[in-house]
Structure 1
Amino acid sequence: MSTEPEPTASATTASAPAAPAPTTQIPTRWVGPLRMSGNAVEGEIEVPLATYETPLWPSVGRGARISRLVEGGIRATVLEERMTRSTLFVAPDAATAFEASKVIAERVDELREVVSSGSRFARLEDIHPEIVGNLLFTRFALTTGDASGHNMVTQASEQLMERILSWDLGIEYGSISGNFCSDKKATAVNGVLGRGRSVVAEILIPHETVEKQLRSTAERITDLVVRKDWIGSTIAGALRSANAHYANMLLAFYLATGQDAANIVEGSQGFTHAEVREEGLYFSCTLPHLIVGTVGNGKDLPHVDYAMERLGCREEREPGANSRRLAALIAASVLCGELSLLAAQTNQGELMTAHRRLERRKAPRS
């Protein structure tokens, strides 16, 4: 009888050729077209949404259909753009930190030259200092062309820190990022001082269209916006945010266009507003900090490049114009989905009926 030990499961597994890991696939559909106007996009255009939540496509599609029934459709206005990084310096005391902050403010032109000499597109716009104890936070705000700007502002901030430390102000390096930026976190500072592209999307829908296409009224939708988005969000402790589900549309659009999906954390902080007017329902979505770009990491993947081409975001334009176009399209898509969901929730039972109809699951595998 052999005394050789039986091979263990781990040994067998180790000797067998490893099967290639499957690629993560996310269902993607083009929805629309959306009728657009404003300072970044004009005309009708379809948008890509990558999501496992299949009811999102017809929901955004309903909003897009309404946009085509309204003159001018959805008007998207890009208000401003900037990307930020907050560096952290350590001083022996608050007095030293304060004196250093004054020197930094006085020599801002020199710091602007540091940034522009190190990048073709980065430009230093503002510096916002904050002192806590002996800690000096400096929030640098830069324009970054068509890039979302994560790496661009970090590189610029490294150069700025080196120059500031060379001035011998009695402060030392603390961190390249001090969380006063604020990146991928729900904070107030991004809304107050700005980060990314700030966009307002708005539409004025005739009463007849509201009743026929949304099976609701301007009064009922406006009441729900106040009661749900504003009062409900307030009692929940929402931070600079009053909306129903911006994150759904943002994530779907971000994944389809190669954006850093973690930025939906701050991107989904935004405000839905509605009014009953003589002409119909005024409905708007304000997104103060969309962190998006048309160039940079992930933008050279085949499906992303195809999406950018189809969206018209690969045109020869001034630096930043393609990304402003992308941000406007994202904001309009958010409006379509937000309007459709809120209208559905004004009718008891409609939301769950739609989900049951659109998300029928296959029998589980044995």
Structure 2
Amino acid sequence: MHEPFQTPIPTQWIGPIRLSGNVVDGEEVEVPLATYETPLWPSVKRGSKISRLVEGGIRATLVDDRMTRSVYFEAPDAGAAYRVAQELDSRRDDLQAVVAGASRFARLIDLHFQYAGNLLFVRFDFTTGDASGHNMVTLAADNLMPWILQEYPELRYGSISGNFCSDKKPTAVNGILGRGKNVVTEMLIPRDVVRRFLKSTPERIADLNTRKNLVGTNLAGGLRSANAHYANMLLAFYLATGQDAANIVEGSQGITTAEVRDGDLYFACNLPNLIVGTVGNGKGAGLEIVEDGLRRLGCREDREPGLNAQRLAVLCAASVFCGELSLLAAQTNPGELMEAHVKIERNR
């Protein structure tokens, strides 16, 4: 068996980004981005500069925090599946007692059911402290299933994963019910700032967002997604902070909003599926660069469980906002995007 080795990815600290909101308020924070697409750094850097030119900077609001695991059972028929679902929904305290015996941090906060013939799909929603929660929710579900089978012997085991979660797949359910941290970032950018530093106008950016991100994505058959390139910033941030990078699949299913308000530009990025954590997933296992980064981000503080991970999610969302704003502004100008790539990548 070959020993694991580290693959170096170029990384830069970008910013600082000015932030306000219900998690990070009144701070300017630099963020690490690990990427081979080097034009991403100056693009996010330009967005971070805009944040420092506006009072309060980027307003980031964390609106939800949950991790999910779905399982499925075989019932004799749909009627039996429905009856069991109704009873399970009324026994949430019993289910939570089972969860508490499996994990110190997992807490059951919701249940959702779907039916397909005689199959019963159960989606468990948990809070998971500072962990992203993949293993924690699976462990909880792994303890819940035998308990349910014992209480309802008419059921048969199906699978510990029923894809109604939905993990690392482009689906609608996560955007509707939530999976991970749901963060909305927004800023009202004065017209003169847009013209001077983004080389564009509020009207051109708003029109491009509607026609490209909304209409163009709809023509392409996008699924709960209307943005220019969330995945670029998400991947760079995830790699730099020790996250499971495959979660950019659902993470990039977000919607960008842009409109003109009294001549200024209102710009917002909605990210309902940010799956990040500050513990677990190999963090604290000798990856000193990740540990140093989390400390520098202020995500290694002595806080209530969950608050460090929520801070990390907000900083990630702010990074996405900066890169999204900068790219859309560039694409309002013919040739600007390609000129930047040629200048930075080919002449590097």
**TM-score when scaled to structure 2?**
0.97
Aligned to 1:116: 100
Report deviation, 1:230.
0.2
Aligned to 1:243: 227
Matches within 5 A, 1:296-311: 296-300=280-284, 301-311=287-297
- Distance in 2 separating the partners of 1:263 and 1:20: 26
Where do 5+ consecutive residues of structure 1 fail to align?
1-17
Q: 2:20 aligns with which of 37, 40, 46?
A: 37
Would you say the 8 A contact 2:84–2:152 is kept in 1? no
Aligned to 1:153: 137
Aligned to 1:5: none
- Equivalent pairs, count: 345
Matches within 5 A, 1:253-292: 253-278=237-262, 280-292=264-276
Write the letter of the residue equivalent to 1:85: R
- Distance in 2 separating the partners of 1:22 and 1:249: 25
Is the alpha carbon distance of 1:80 and 1:353 closer, same or farther for their aligned partners in structure 2, counting shifts above 3 Å?
same
1:359 is paired with a residue whose SS is helix
Report deviation, 1:349.
0.5
Corresponding position: 1:346 with 2:332: yes
Report deviation, 1:116.
2.1
2:224 is paired with a residue whose SS is coil
Would you say the 8 A contact 2:16–2:48 is kept in 1? yes
Report deviation, 1:284.
0.4
1:112 is paired with a residue whose SS is helix
Corresponding position: 1:25 with 2:8: yes
Would you say the 8 A contact 1:247–1:267 is kept in 2? yes
Would you say the 8 A contact 1:194–1:288 is kept in 2? yes
Report deviation, 1:279.
5.7
Q: 1:232 aligns with which of 187, 193, 216?
A: 216
Corresponding position: 1:50 with 2:34: yes
Would you say the 8 A contact 2:202–2:263 is kept in 1? no
CA RMSD of superposed structures (Å): 1.5
Aligned to 1:72: 56
Would you say the 8 A contact 1:127–1:140 is kept in 2? yes
- Distance in 2 separating the partners of 1:75 and 1:274: 15
Would you say the 8 A contact 2:69–2:125 is kept in 1? yes
Would you say the 8 A contact 1:28–1:49 is kept in 2? yes
Aligned to 2:341: 355
Aligned to 1:93: 77
The structure 1 segments of at least 4 consecutive aligned residues displaced by more than 6 Å after TM superposition are: 18-22
- Distance in 2 separating the partners of 1:141 and 1:268: 21
1:113 is paired with a residue whose SS is helix
Bigger drift between 183-192 and 353-362 goes to: 353-362
Where do 5+ consecutive residues of structure 2 fail to align?
none
Aligned to 1:15: none
Write the letter of the residue equivalent to 1:312: G
- Distance in 2 separating the partners of 1:316 and 1:224: 44
- Distance in 1 separating the partners of 2:282 and 2:185: 27
Aligned to 2:159: 175
- Distance in 1 separating the partners of 2:347 and 2:78: 61
1:116 is paired with a residue whose SS is helix
Would you say the 8 A contact 1:244–1:338 is kept in 2? yes
Report deviation, 1:113.
1.3
Would you say the 8 A contact 1:67–1:74 is kept in 2? yes
